[in-house]
């Protein structure tokens, strides 16, 4: 199974990596590995994670306060957001559709 990012999700992912890297050298890398680990877990079992609505689910990272919001479309995972859990929880909903 493959995965793709919504363009805004990819941008926010990169911004978060930059933010953590500015905080401490190597922390941005650690954050990116946590997100990729969440994506691997999603691919292994896409229906295992918290259902938000309809076909949308959220998988949490383990070390950082982030969740990966995604939809499964046939044999592909479409990532709508790499969401900071301390942010407005609905900011990404305009990406649906």
Asked if residues 4 and 70 have their Cβ atoms less than 8 Å apart, the reply is: no
Q: Is 37 helix (H, G, I), strand (E, B) or coil?
A: helix
**Rounded distance, CA 17 to CA 96, Å?**
24
CA 64-13-86 angle, to 5 degrees, is 45
**Domain annotation for the chain: domains and CATH numbers:** 2-86 (3.30.2310.20)
pTM over 0.95: no
Beta strands in 14-89, from DSSP E residues, in sequence order = 50-53, 56-60, 66-73, 76-84
Q: Given this model, what pLDDT does residue 2 score?
A: 95
| Chain centre distance of CA 95 | 13
Q: What is the mean pLDDT of residues 2-20?
A: 97
Q: What is the mean pLDDT of residues 24-32?
A: 97
């Amino acid at each position: 199974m493959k995965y793709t990012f919504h363009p805004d999700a990819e941008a926010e992912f990169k911004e978060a990596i930059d933010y953590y890297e500015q905080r401490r050298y190597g922390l941005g890398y650690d954050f990116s590995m946590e997100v990729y680990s969440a994506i691997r877990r999603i691919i292994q079992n896409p229906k295992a994670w918290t259902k938000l609505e309809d076909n949308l689910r959220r998988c949490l990272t383990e070390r950082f306060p982030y969740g990966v919001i995604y939809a499964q479309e046939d044999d592909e995972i479409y990532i709508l957001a790499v969401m900071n859990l301390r942010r407005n929880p609905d900011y990404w909903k305009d990406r649906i559709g």
